[in-house]
Structure formats: C-alpha cells, structure tokens
Structure 1
Amino acid sequence: MDRKQLIDKVDELSDAYCKGCLLKAHFRKEYGKTHAHRFCIEECTVGREIRRYGEKLG
C-alpha cells in the first residue's frame, strides 16, 4: 500500500467507527482525554488497526 492509500484507510476507519464512539465519550467524561486516548490506542480493535497503519507510515 502506498502512503495515500494508508492515509485514506485511516480516515475511513476513523470516520466509520471513531466519530460518535460512546466508549470514547464515556471514558473522556469520566476519566479525561488521556485515559480515553489510551483506551483507543491500546484496547480498542479499531484503534489498534489505525495504529498498525500509522506504523507503516512512519
């Protein structure tokens, strides 16, 4: 996959699953932005997939 395709895939995943995510909103409200972000990166299956694509970009 080239760079543009990777970025498009990350945007697609983010738009489809992350915007309006109830878990992220809950964790952000209860524990703060850092906890919510950490959850998304480490525990959420979509977040892990986005991170995997990001590693290919870097």
Structure 2
Amino acid sequence: MPGPPAGLCNICAFQRVVGNTRGSVFSMCERAKLTGETEYAKYPRLPVWECPGYEPAEVTPER
C-alpha cells in the first residue's frame, strides 16, 4: 500500500502507513509509542520537512 506524500516521513524508520476500510491511507509516526517521547504527533501534518526525531529507515535492495 503506497503511502501519502509525507516528505521526510516517507524515508523515516518510525513511519507506518495505515489504511482504513474506505481506502484512505495515513502516515503514522510510531516514535512516541516506541521510545516514550510524547512530543511527536501520532499523525503529523503532512508533508513533514523537518523533524528532530527523524531517523533514516534501513533500505533493503529490491530484486
């Protein structure tokens, strides 16, 4: 499921793309849940161009 145009979130280790039953997709930030840091919004306003909690996602080679 491709995510929305989320800027920096699209390449962040903490992003999870979630969908609903009507076909909409959302970019969810899991940083607060995983680290206990509450200053990060669960569903940030998009696109995100700056974020102090950004960590690059591991890239896996495509075959």
Smaller-chain TM-score bracket: under 0.3
Structure 1 or 2: larger helix share?
Answer: 1
Using structure 1 for the length normalisation, give the TM-score.
Answer: 0.24
Q: TM-score when scaled to structure 2?
A: 0.23
